[in-house]
Amino acid sequence: MLRVSGIDTYYGTSHILHEVSIEVDAGEMVSVLGRNGAGKTTLLRSITGERLPRLGRIEFDGKTISKLASHLRTRRGISYVPQGRQIISDLTVSENLELALLGVGKSRRIPDVVYEYFPALRSLTGRKGGVLSGGQQQQLAIARALVQEPRLLLMDEPTEGLQPSVVAEIQEIIKRIGSEHNCAILLVEQRLDVVRDVARRFAILDTGHIVATGPIGELSDDVVRKHLQV
């Protein structure tokens, strides 16, 4: 479904990703790990189109999307839960969800599935996104992607900065989305317990290079010590 082949991505003159390749099959959940500054977020931004790679190719459903604008990638079925949530702060919860619906050409009617996954959002519909707590914003960020009914969901550290009970909740939600919506997920995550629980395969980025990949069972403590410990 998603095939990233040898991409090189830069921020100005800083060379962030070096010939990075990764694949995600339909309905599969793949996790990307790495130390801070390894290039995980840049990889997701390259896939969303926020940051265009200078070299290499990105294919989605067999078609090259390397030079496609962000909004066109979203309309093809790639949704994004960004790091730090990035809720549109002066839109209400409803408006954030409606915007996501409009973005993929749907009507503004918010589907019930949102409140099945996130019952807490029902009472917050009129609140501005910018005044929600971190956990509520994370729920909204995932709900926003969910209403677009994506075939590939990119999630960037969805448990970052959340209290343990909320982390467990988000963890379950990720598993549910993968299984109930037949949605492929590319998950950037720092928590090993979450990764081992939800992902089928992993890839480790180190200073912009893919240094290890494999089935999740191969994410041993030795691999973690070698590539992830500071």
What residues make contact with another protein under the rule CB under 8 A? Answer: 48-50, 69-71, 74-75, 79-80, 82, 86, 88-91, 95, 98-100, 102-105, 108, 130-132, 144, 148
Q: How many Cβ atoms from other residues are within 10 Å of residue 25's Cβ? A: 13
DSSP string of 144-166, one letter each residue: HHHTT--SEEEEE-TTTT--HHH
Instruction: Output 26 or 131, the one with its CB closest to another protein.
Output: 131
Name the residue among 189, 215, 191 with its Cα closest to residue 201.
215
- In contact, 158 and 174? CB cutoff 8 Å: yes
Instruction: Output 132 or 204, the one with its CB closest to another protein.
Output: 132
Strands (E), 65-193: 78-81, 152-156, 184-188
Tell the smallest beta-carbon distance from residue 41 to another protein (Å).
12
Instruction: Output 49 or 178, the one with its CB closest to another protein.
Output: 49
Tell the smallest beta-carbon distance from residue 23 to another protein (Å).
21
Residue with tokens 């992993």: 202
Instruction: Output 12 or 230, the one with its CB closest to another protein.
Output: 12
Tell the smallest beta-carbon distance from residue 3 to another protein (Å).
20
Instruction: Output 74 or 138, the one with its CB closest to another protein.
Output: 74
Query: Token pair for residue 80?
Result: 């994004």
- In contact, 197 and 219? CB cutoff 8 Å: no
Tell the smallest beta-carbon distance from residue 131 to another protein (Å).
5
State which H helix or E strand residue 2 sits in: strand 2-11
Tell the smallest beta-carbon distance from residue 89 to another protein (Å).
4
